[in-house]
Structure 1
Amino acid sequence: MLQELSIKNFAIISSLHLTFADKMTALTGETGAGKSIIIDAVSLLAGARSSVEYIRQGSEHCVLEGLFDLPIHKDFQKLANELGIETEEGILVVQRDMNVSGKNICRVNGRIVTLSNLRRIGHYIVDIQGQNDHQELMNPDAHLRLLDSFGSEDFQAEKRRYRHAYHEYLELAQRVRKYKQNEQTFVQRMDMLTFQQEEIGSAELEVGEEERLIEERDKLVNFQKIVDTLSYSYQALTNDEASALDGIGLASQELQSIAPLDDAYQTISDNVHSAYYLLQDAATEISRQLDLLELDEERLDTVNERLELIHQLKRKYGDSIESILAYYQTISQELIESDFSEGKLELLEKELEEKKTDLTEDALQLHAKRQKISKRIEEAIQQELKQLYMENACFHVHFSETTITEHGIDEIEFYITTNPGEPLKPLVKVASGGEISRVMLALKTIFSRKQGLTSIVFDEVDTGVSGRVAQAIADKIYQIGENSQVLCITHLPQVAAKADHQLFIRKEVVENRTITIVEELSPSERIDEIARMLAGTEITELTIQHARELLELAKK
């Protein structure tokens, strides 16, 4: 329920703080005093769309704040957890700050939320029924939701399971459609990837292979030059007539004879001696290499072909063998993970048909349970309508079967006849404004019993009625207040008298500015206000007596 409401710079309200009680509270006052403005503020806290026109003239922004009891509905706790809203203290503080620039900031228990999420929260904290809000009853699309709201917790759980299964069915149907649309394109891609995989795989590439092949090719291409160079070098080192090694060996022997005489000579001798042995090793290695050399022209062709293959693969798949192998891994994984395979479409279509069959069975079960719910609603509303002086009315829930939707296979519309002998017709085509108000109150009476502590606001829903019907509506609103907090804007004295509490709203002009003032009326003040509602400006002793009588009857 709504405990407190704080309003600043909203319409003609400069600053206002209200405390609300449980059960039924009537808001009365002259037309234009600001009663509906208060309800507009509550509506905005529940997520209604705002307008800069709401901001008081001359102000930059307005602030609305409401303190609510924490809703006990289990779905609300799930929503609070989803939005990260703390709920440990058992209260809900909703704040909305609106700026002339059009900027809106919404907070719930200090956490900023989007307007759409505030609207989701508002569904659990307040239910506003205005004189134009009968449109829900006049909209057949809303009738199914209204009927379902009377279902048990088990029914609601079954609906949730059905809705989950329906969305799974839609996802699978979309998957089948995409599969069909993309099958040809996909098959072409799979063929291409398979070819690429085979082409790269058959090459059996190795990291570092290209560098080794280039080195081998260069040796094979320069075979004759290598042979000539090694042969000449070997002859220069070992020629019998003018052997370089023999000359260096003689020089080494001569230098060794004078080496002890000076450190410089010793160094020269050591270097020549070392050079002699190094050259001797080099000559041996040159001889070995010459023995190993053998021209293999077929091998040269093989190396060149292999290098050309690597070049072609690099041109297609990457700038190095590493890149080519990485691409090979990628396409191989894609081929493994692909769900396009022979017979896959047939399997998906079979699965889709099975899901549709299961979904149809679930929808039929929902239909059967809705039939039972509808009978209970018809009986309950019939009883409520009798209490609202619509004894001859007959209310009926009309079912039409449709294709499978998120809600099942049912289309529902409320039918009614208000005169004996007349056939049942859609509510939207038969009922008058006053009758619609009474049907709405009948529904709301039943609904409030199930809803628990919820704030329900009636904004002049009693417009256009009088006499015993007005008294019946007053009794019905009071009855709703027994199960829920009710705030009711009314111009009917019968309704105001029935309230547990009464707030009087009036306007005053202070420093050339109009402001709204709200006062809770004492028992004696209520008599005067109800007398004014009965008689208008001319209040007599008889009017006072009539007002007092209304209040006394209401207590009884």
Structure 2
Amino acid sequence: MLLSLRIENFALIDHLDLELGLGLNVFTGETGAGKSIILDAIDTVLGGKVDRRMIRTGAKRAILEATFEVEAAISNWLAEQEIDLVDGTLAVCSREITLSSGKVRSRSRLNGILISRKLLDEVRDRFVEITAQGQTLQLSQPGLQRDWLDLYGGADLLAAKQTVAAAYSKTKQAQNALENRRQFEQQRLQRLDLLQYQIQELDAANLTDADELEQLKQEQQRLGHVVELQHQSYQINQLLYENDERKAASDLLSQAENILTDMVEYDTQLQPILAMVEDALAQVIEAGRQISSYGEQLESDPERLQEVQDRIQQLKQICRKYGQTLAEVIAYYEKIQAELKDLQTGEQSLEALEKAYQEATQKLIFVCQSLTQLRQKTASKLETHLVKELKPLAMEKVEFKVEIHPIEPTINGADLVEFCFSPNPGEPLQPLGAIASGGEMSRFLLALKACFSQVAGSGTMVFDEIDVGVSGRVAQAIAQKLHQLGQGHQVLCVTHQPIVAAMGDRHFHVEKKVIGDPVSNDGSEERTVVRVSQLNNNQRREELAQLASGRSATEAIAFAESLLTEADYLRQFYTNY
């Protein structure tokens, strides 16, 4: 229950402290007086959207604070969130809205502790239920009708709905895995084809030595210049070892050796030089023999030269496709061999994923069927209950049915829920939004809230002009229903109907006033503010007279007194009933 509401610098309200109580709390005032600002403040402090217009002109900060007296269930929930109650029973929800550098920011606290938006949404769901004028237009939406049916079904139905949501999520995951695998399968097969072709080509190339290309290039040079190499080999041999026309290097070294041998006999210090000449002579003779043998072995081999050239061309072509060097090509060859093996044996089979998807789908269908059965039972109860609540609202002959049509499974089940309605005898049942008038929609919504309040505990219920567009006997019926809702609950209601206002357990008057701006030095500047005051019996009589006729005439006062007298009688009647 909302005990108090404190507002500072919010819209047209400079400062307001409002004390509320159990039962029906009504708010009246002229059109545009600011009644909805009170409800906007309740909505905002519990997480509603904020914008810069909510901060009073000239101010930089707005503060909203709502104090609730909580029941055991909410107290236990707050304990789970590690939030202690104030004085053992109170929860104080506050929100600070600031304007800085043209940007609006807000911070929310619960009993002084900063809380997240997600937690604030949970607080709102537990503390307050706000029904605005435009919500009657949403009654025709099948999604909202389904949610209300589920809410009426209580814990068992909501638990079944969560089971469906979990099964649906698992089914979508299995479906996504299967679709991804199918898409991957196409890519895998394409990749397999490419790898198999490349491996086949590299296998045919018989790559074993990373230096093969360089070796072949050297062999190509040798085979391509056999004649030149033979001639040059003969020349070297002539210079080093065998020369008929002039002395060769070996002949000159032999002469030097003989002279040094004679010199050593006289001076042994020349022995190292002699040894070097001897070594040089031996190396020159050996080099001559080897170059001679090399030249004799050289022979023209056009076939081998063609083989080498063909192999070089093949390896260069391979390098252009798979790597800059033969070493890189061999490394790539080893890599794609490993990849091919993984693609052939390393992935979960498509059949296993298809089986998992089928099993998840069957489970989803099963839990959806269970949810449908619960909804059908709940629909039957709601039909009976809602008609019972509608009859006192001047709808004695009303017919109501919850149609449940099968659809493809979704996260909310496999049901399309549609409220069908016939307000007049002899008229067929049709979708609620297609035939119900504004007044009928208001009464339907009110009856629906009455059904919810009886099957589950409800926090503060807020109605913003739920009685708009009705009058006379219908207005009286709505007034009585709002009062009944207030028995054991707290109801806040903005109304223009004197009949509804008369049934209030507390009556608040909302008005705009123009006052001198305290910020100005001489008070000459004027500001508009909203003021709220709780009315006593005499003030209520005057207010009801104004609502009824727009002036405090004798007849209007008498009518107001009669409304208050009848309201007292009805309150006593329902209290004792």
TM range (shorter): 0.7 to 0.9
CA, structure 1 residues 384+184, in 2 after alignment: closer, same or farther (shift >3 Å)?
Answer: same
Q: Sort the Cα spacing of 1:545 and 1:311 in 2 relative to 1 into closer, same or farther, 3 A.
A: same
Q: Does 1:88 align with 2:98?
A: no
Does the Cα contact within 8 Å between 1:4 and 1:67 map onto a contact in 2?
yes
Mean CA deviation greater in 300-309 or 363-372: 300-309
User: Aligned-residue CA RMSD in angstroms?
Assistant: 5.2
Cα 1:113–1:347 change in 2 (3 A) is same
Matched residue, 2:315: 310
Given that 2:195 and 2:336 are in contact with CA atoms closer than 8 Å, whether structure 1 keeps it comes out as no
Aligned position for 1:531:
541
Identify the range of structure 1 (217-226 vs 372-381) with the bigger mean alpha-carbon deviation: 217-226
1:534 is matched by which residue type in structure 2? Answer: L
CA contact (8 A) 1:13 1:516 kept: yes
Q: Percent identity?
A: 29
The alpha-carbon deviation at position 353 of structure 1 amounts to 5.9
CA offsets 1:412-456 (integer angstroms, 9 cap, x no match): 211233445554333224433333223212322333456656454
- Indicate whether 1:333 and 2:339 are aligned: yes
Residues of 1 paired with 2:139 and 2:121: CA distance?
A: 21
Match of 2:379 in 1: 374
Counterpart check, 1:471 vs 2:485: no
- The equivalent of 1:138 in structure 2 is 140
Tell me by how many angstroms 1:478 deviates.
0.7
> Could you tell me whether the CA contact under 8 Å between 2:386 and 2:447 is conserved in 1?
yes
1:438 corresponds in structure 2 to 443
- Whole-Å Cα distance in 1 between the matches of residues 445 and 176 of structure 2? 40
CA–CA distance in structure 2, aligned partners of residues 553 and 161 of structure 1:
45
SS of the residue 1:400 aligns to: strand
Q: Which residue type is aligned with residue 88 of structure 1?
A: E
Whether the aligned pair in 1 keeps the contact of 2:129 and 2:459 (CA below 8 Å) is yes
Between 1:28-37 and 1:173-182, the stretch displaced more is 173-182
Counterpart Cα distance in 1 of 2:155 and 2:336: 51
What residue ranges of structure 2 are gaps of 5+ in the alignment?
A: 85-90, 517-525
Distance 1:95 1:222 in 2: 93
C-alpha deviation, 1:130, in angstroms: 1.0
SS of residue paired to 1:476: helix
1:16-55 matches, within 5 Å, as 25-44=25-44
**Secondary structure of 2:152 counterpart:** coil
Contact 1:124 1:454 in 2 (8 A): yes
TM-score with structure 1 setting the length: 0.72
What is the SS of the residue equivalent to 2:466? coil
Deviations 1:178-234, CA, capped at 9 Å, x for gaps: 888998887556533432233234435457335553564366447746666666556
The separation in 2 between residues aligned to 1:284 and 1:2, in whole angstroms, is 116
Structure with the greater alpha carbon radius of gyration: 2
How far 1:140 moved relative to its partner?
A: 3.3
The count of aligned residue pairs is 529
Q: Structure 2: how far apart are the matches of 1:128 and 1:487?
A: 9
* 3-state secondary structure, aligned to 2:33: coil
Structure 2: which amino acid aligns with 1:367?
T
Describe the SS at the equivalent of 2:480.
Answer: helix
After superposition, give the CA deviation of every residue in 1:107-128 in whole Å (9 maximum; x if it has no partner).
Answer: 55598989x9987986666432
- The 2-side partners of 1:444 and 1:98 are apart by 38
Deviations 1:244-284 (A, max 9, x none): 553565687688789999xxxx9xx8688568647756865
Relative to structure 1, is the Cα distance of residues 210 and 150 closer, same or farther in structure 2, using a 3 angstrom cutoff? farther
Q: Which amino acid aligns with 2:383?
A: E
Q: Give the deviation of 1:158 after TM superposition.
A: 3.2
- The answer as to whether partners of 2:261 and 2:274 remain within 8 angstroms in 1 is no
Structure 1 position 533, deviation (Å): 3.3
Most deviating of 199-208 and 271-280: 271-280
* Residue 374 to residue 39, structure 1, CA distance change in 2 (3 Å): same
Aligned partners of 1:510, 1:232: CA distance in 2, in Å?
125
Measured at CA, do residues 184 and 287 of structure 1 come closer, stay the same or move farther in structure 2, by a change above 3 Å?
Answer: same
**In the TM superposition, what are the counterparts of 1:503-518 in structure 2 within 5 Å?**
503-511=508-516, 512-518=526-532
Task: Name the structure 1 match of 2:400.
Answer: 395
In 1, distance between residues paired with 2:282 and 2:22? 115
The aligned amino acid for 1:129 is T
Please give the alpha-carbon distance, in whole angstroms, between the structure 2 residues aligned to 1:152 and 1:545: 41
In the alignment, which of 179, 188, 191 is matched to residue 193 of structure 2?
191
Q: Is the 8 A contact 1:399 1:411 kept in 2?
A: yes
User: Which deviates more, 297-306 or 394-403?
Assistant: 297-306
The match for 1:411 is 416
| Cα distance between partner residues in 2 of 1:336 and 1:398 | 54
Paired with 2:7 and 2:261, the residues of 1 have a C-alpha distance of: 117
Amino acid at match of 2:35: K
Q: Which stretch shows the higher mean deviation, 246-255 or 29-38?
A: 246-255
Q: Cα 1:233–1:400, aligned 2, differ >3 Å: closer, same or farther?
A: same
Shift of residue 380, structure 1, vs aligned partner: 2.7
| TM-score normalised by length of structure 2 | 0.70
Q: Give the equivalent residue in structure 1 for 2:13.
A: 13
Deviation at 1:371, TM superposition (A): 0.8
* Residues in 2 aligned to 1:68 and 1:256: alpha-carbon distance in whole angstroms: 125
SS of alignment partner, residue 151 of structure 1: helix
For 1:436 and 1:208, the matched residues in 2 are separated by 86
Question: CA separation of 1:452/1:219 partners in 2, compared to 1, >3 Å: closer, same or farther?
Answer: farther
Alignment partners' CA distance in 2, 1:120 and 1:251: 116
Structure 1 window deviating more from structure 2 (211-220 vs 431-440): it is: 211-220
8 Å Cα contact 1:528-1:544 kept in structure 2: no
CA contact (8 A) 1:527 1:544 kept: no
457-466 or 204-213, which moves further after superposition?
204-213
The answer as to whether partners of 1:507 and 1:514 remain within 8 angstroms in 2 is: yes
